[in-house]
Amino acid sequence: MNRKKHKTGVYRTEYDEVVSLPDGNSPVLLGSGVITGILGQGGSAVVYRIWNEQLGIYRAVKLLRPTASMDSRERFAREIKILAQLNHPNIINVHSVGEWKGLPYIEMDYVDGASLEQLIQEMGPFPLNVVLAMALFIARALDYTHSHKYKIRNVEYIGLLHRDLKPANVLLPKHDVLRLTDFGVASFNTVTITSTSQTGRVTGSMQYLAPEQLGDGIVDHRSDIYSFGCILYEMVTGEKAFPERHVAKLVKQRVQNNYVRLSKKTKKTPRVLTNLIESCMSLNPSGRPSSMKTILSYLETMYRRVEDRRPESIIRSFINGEAISSKSKISGIHQKISHGSRFFTTVQGFFFGAVSIAFLASLLVIFLHSPRSSQHDEDSFSMAEFRRQSGGGASAQPRENPILDSLMSRFDTRDTVAVISKLDSDGHYEELREVLQRLPLELRARTGMRVRNHRAIIALGGESYSYYSNNFISDGEYIYDKGTFLFEQGEYQRALWVLRDALTTPALLQNEQEFVINVRHQMSRASTKIAQRTGLERDYRTAYDQWDTLAQLMSERPYLPLYEEAQERKDNVLQELEELF
């Protein structure tokens, strides 16, 4: 039966009868079965539950409304083509497509359970192992969609953006694994999105869209990463990062990325997870993790540190209301992460170990939005504190340190940190090492003191494979120096891995902007060396992207030589790429 569009926008049959959708109460034939109820309704479609008698199973059928707009119909047709090419355990499966009285439908898996949105509303904040288990499955699904090849009308695409990630689109079966659904606005190409309603109210997904999706910004896989961060935030806190419902107020918050930082919202979440979430939610896409694959590696490492059981069993127990009290490993994660250097000194072969261990180093702190004040406080202490740590009260005498006493007289100060900073800035590294070695152990172990000692070791020629293998400092400067050392040894791939970690780790004693530029510069050099060594197109493209990112970082200071170098090297890589491929 053909359908025609009436002037009212309602589809009618060739007999001019209005198409009425089933109400869900009558056993109407739809797809491969009979309707048994309505699972959900939206502005453009209704999702029914059907019973397939032959197979003895329920399925879900998404049926387009007769009043759907042309744009909705086009999205529906695209969703059908996209879902047909997706094959992943954490993505909803499509079994068939067809028409019911001229209206298109998609027949999919029926999920007997709840959405993540419903679960958060019911349960509030999730336990750490549940958050990580769910994050793992969502990340796996997104990593797959972002890297999978698709073919639509004989045109091949690589990578699919979901563009509407939210808890309501994450389904949690009682007896199966987590499923990602609703690819109705998914896209292969970079697009711009503006999204406000005529009533001035916000649609549900508006609160999860990346800032660039709210204006004229370029949307790519990092937009999904932002939305993913919002979902993690909500699982951890039980609240939306952007709870505001009115458009004008919400848009202002979104443009400024003005939300209550997780680090201020809760102190129970391990720092490593807090920083990962906040980096995903960075206002600038360049400040977010580079890919879901990178995030997935972080999450897998974190999960292994806190849980032995399979993530699906953790989620299933949680959904079914069973006790999932954390094991001893979970209760100790705060200590293990906050004292990461102690943990790493016990890892044999850290420097030459598996890539996962290298990733674990970066997990200790992912900087971007992490607060700096507490770190600087950690490195500052008075002479009174020095005395207390030496074994006495504020009036007690420090342990014998004639060099420090002499330097205090020379620099006319009684501030130990001021003396150490002066030695560091003036390059007096032999004296600096002696002073540091005589500090009380608790003060000497602080990150700032360890970084300064690291600087002295490098300056005095102590840098070596053995040094980096047997020492670890959870500071970006140390990790950067390690990457630079590897680069100088010709180990470009390892250097790039380490430098990526440096990019996501705070450098306590460095200017943040300058430090990022230095790391990006070294990453660009390493990527170029890798491309020249492998001769692979993908490596050349990575090198080009690295130089292009550096050029953009330097664009506000085009008078500096590094800007000219970035532009020149970018052009050179592009020329080599064109000549080879």
Q: Which residues contact 482 (CB under 8 A, 6 or more apart)?
A: 468, 498, 502
Name 187's bridge partners.
161
Q: What would the two tokens of residue 575 be?
A: 């020329």
Residue 329 marked in a binding site: no
The DSSP code for 212 is: G
Sheet holding 94-100, edge to edge: 29-30, 33-41, 45-52, 57-64, 103-109, 94-100
Name 91's bridge partners.
180
Burial class (CB in 10 A: 0-12, 13-18, 19+), 267: exposed
Q: To which H or E segment does residue 310 belong?
A: none
CA distances for 204 relative to 71, 186, 201, 236, angstroms: 19, 16, 10, 19
Report the C-alpha gap between 13 and 69 in whole angstroms. Answer: 17
CA 267 to mean position of chain CA atoms? 20
Phi, psi (deg, nearest 5) at residue 389: -70, -20
Beta strands in 405-543 (DSSP E): none
Q: Are the beta carbons of 233 and 262 closer than 8 angstroms?
A: yes
Q: Name the residue among 46, 80, 73, 72 with its Cα closest to residue 60.
A: 46
The DSSP code for 201 is: B
Q: What would the two tokens of residue 146 be?
A: 């972002």
Report the C-alpha gap between 502 and 516 in whole angstroms. Answer: 9
Residue by residue, DSSP assigns 163-181 as ----GGGEEEESSS--EE-
Q: Are the beta carbons of 61 and 110 closer than 8 angstroms?
A: no
Q: Are the beta carbons of 291 and 352 closer than 8 angstroms?
A: no
Residue with tokens 């060099």: 403
Q: Are the beta carbons of 59 and 159 closer than 8 angstroms?
A: no
Phi, psi (deg, nearest 5) at residue 170: -115, 115
Q: Are the beta carbons of 361 and 479 closer than 8 angstroms?
A: yes
Residue by residue, DSSP assigns 350-402 as TTTS-HHHHHHHHHT---TT---HHHHHHH---HHHHHHHTTS-TTSPPSP-H
Residue with tokens 């990630």: 165
Q: Which residues contact 146 (CB under 8 A, 6 or more apart)?
A: 159, 160, 161, 221, 224, 291, 292, 293
CA 328 to mean position of chain CA atoms? 27
Q: What would the two tokens of residue 459 be?
A: 């300056």
Which amino acid does the sequence have at 512? E
Q: What would the two tokens of residue 458 be?
A: 């490098």
Q: Are the beta carbons of 143 and 289 closer than 8 angstroms?
A: no
Detail the residues annotated as belonging to a binding site for ATP: 62
Detail the residues annotated as belonging to a binding site: 62
